[in-house]
Amino acid sequence: MVLYSSKLVAFLSVISIMSLLLAMCVLPMVDIDLNLAAPIHSVYAQSKQIKTVLDSNDVVANANPLRLSNHSNANHFQIESDLGTESSNVNNWITVNHDIYGTRSSAQTVINASNVAKLKLKWRLINDAEIQDPPIIIDGKGYVQDYTGTVIAFDTHSGKIIWKLLAGSGPTMGLTFNNGLIFVSTAFNANVLAINATSGNVVWKSPVLGDSKAGYNIPTFPIVWKDYVIVGSAGHDDSSSGVVTIKGNITALNRTNGDVIWNLHTTAGDWVSYSAPKFNAGANDWSGGSIDPETGIIYMPIGSASPNFNADSRQSPNLYSNHIIAVNITNGKIIWATPFIAHGTVLNVRVPDTHDWDTSWGSSVSRVNYDNGTQKKLVIGHDKMGNIMAMDATTGHPVWWKTIGPNYNIDSLPSRRGSGMIWFYGISNFHAVDDVSNSLYISATNRGVNYFLDGISGHKKTAPNTIQDGLRNGTVIAMDMRSGKVKWQLPTEFPPRVSPLVTDKIVFVGYIPFSEEDKTNRSGIVLALDKQTGSKIWEYDLHAPIGQVGPSIAEGMLFVPTGRVQANQDGGSTNAGGSIAAFGLP
């Protein structure tokens, strides 16, 4: 999951410098690469390729609505299951992206466009470690997992800590609440816990799902529906060389006791056959996805293949790396798989991927309404190059796709002398959708990276005047979910690497200011924008970088996770590793 002739090199170096100067000085508007033509679409089931072209007349295996009563565990379907969108949850936030559809959209109305400008900092919970995930909020209590894997329960009105539990290690994407239990991924402990939300006591621990000594870990937030708890996995790489040996999987656990129901391997084909090198691996679902409770289909983004920067050993289709896959939750069978930067893609990109441009950072499923009175369920996915795609939820057929830009030098391959500086608007955070207005909200960060090969492995050098992985500036975009048409755009001088949140007539976003003199002492600005126009209504300087997984909103309050709070600011000190900043109305 790690990001990835001398005259020619000299020429590229000159161009890279010119590109850097442009990126530093100009905040370009989005460059639309939108294609609505009939696509060539690769569809796979399990490890076998079935067909290379899909149209609306095709029948896809298992795509029909599921007959849940035929499932061997049908009695468990009587278990109550929170969706996050019920009237009982209107003032709650039950999972990382608000609800199991992955919308990051709240129907609360306490904080609205008419009063958001009055928001004040009510309290700040100072923590020993960074907090990058949004707190989940349930009936006056909040729960969050910090960067070390500690789960913290707190009172939402005061910030007072109720209980703490070191559940495992970190980092992870965050927590999920369902029917009185908090479900927790444990990163390098490689298992999942169910915790009593009231007492903090562990109800069950799942079996260990992989070899953590080899790098296997579980960072995804659990998806919980009926009797299923779904998690993905990651393969860790300390050296950032782009080489791992862990192959991806998705696991379904029994919600009642944590037993394994099924395990889906997300690598398939010749590139990972018995004769292939062990380092042909990866294709992890490390960021989590969404589920359609009407069909029991989960939609999961699958990351890039290893080796990240050298594709010599994986020239055949790298299934299912850089795909969105639809999976039957009852049996773990793949229904469809849609490629992004992978063989068979509709995108105008070079394959296979050699830049670690994962299809990642979640998915959402929405029912959109068209002007002619028809409806369609769409799945939204994206990758770290800046490609966005809307897919038919039943077939995976791409409905529209676009690339945020401008990009520069993206076809250049890593080499011992470097690829030359490559600039791209990567999406490294979750998106938000508003079903009422058929709108999609995306934050994309302009990045500059030079990719080098060191044999099978590789390394990256970031552009000057950037922070963390080459982040420089970026843009926040609102799009029409039905067509991909841009409604408005807000360029930002600094990286907007914060997952948006939409509620009422507002969209909350943020960005991370930094100075060239002290790049480590970063701040964070949280913004409230008019969701229809993008105009700024309110902002606040948190004196700490905002967690990229983004804020949550519930109980009439906005909760913003952060990294280290600057000394002498809102309770911060040189020892504080992170915080939760809670905003409310006077």
Q: φ, ψ for residue 8 (rounded to 5)?
A: -65, -45
For residue 63, is pLDDT > 60? no
Residue 521 pLDDT level (bands cut at 50, 70, 90): confident
Residue 32 pLDDT level (bands cut at 50, 70, 90): very low
Whole-number Å distance between alpha carbons of 429 and 423? 18
Unique residue bearing structure tokens 């470097």: 418
Cβ contacts of residue 296 below 8 Å, gap of 6+?
Answer: 66, 68, 225, 226, 328, 329, 330
What's domain 6-584's architecture? Answer: 8 Propeller (2.140)
Residue 572, pLDDT score: 52
Distance from chain centroid for Cα 560: 17
Whole-number Å distance between alpha carbons of 577 and 143? 18
Cβ contacts of residue 8 below 8 Å, gap of 6+?
Answer: none
Entry pTM: 0.88
State whether residue 241 is helix, strand or coil.
coil
Secondary structure tally for the chain: helices H, strands E: 1, 41
- Tens digits of residue pLDDT in 268-279: 999 999 999 999
Distance, first Cα to last Cα, the chain: 43
State whether residue 271 is helix, strand or coil.
helix
Unique residue bearing structure tokens 């809670």: 582
Residue 238, pLDDT score: 55
Question: In the numeric block, which tokens belong to residue 510?
Answer: 């943020």
- Tens digits of residue pLDDT in 283-341: 999 999 999 999 999 999 999 999 999 999 999 999 999 999 999 999 999 999 999 99
For residue 89, is pLDDT > 70? yes
**Across-strand partners of 151?**
145, 165
Positive or negative, the Cα torsion across 358, 106, 132, 250? negative
Whole-number Å distance between alpha carbons of 305 and 286? 13
Residue 58, pLDDT score: 29
Q: For the chain, give the mean pLDDT.
A: 87
What is the identity of the amino acid at 434? D
**Across-strand partners of 560?**
581
- Tens digits of residue pLDDT in 116-139: 999 999 999 999 999 999 999 999
**Which comes out higher in pLDDT, residue 66 or 161?**
161
**Across-strand partners of 478?**
441, 488
**Which comes out higher in pLDDT, residue 94 or 35?**
94
Q: Report, as an integer, the average pLDDT of 255-271.
A: 98
For residue 67, is pLDDT > 60? no
What is the identity of the amino acid at 99? D
Distance from chain centroid for Cα 42: 23
Residue 443 pLDDT level (bands cut at 50, 70, 90): very high
Q: Report, as an integer, the average pLDDT of 234-241.
A: 75
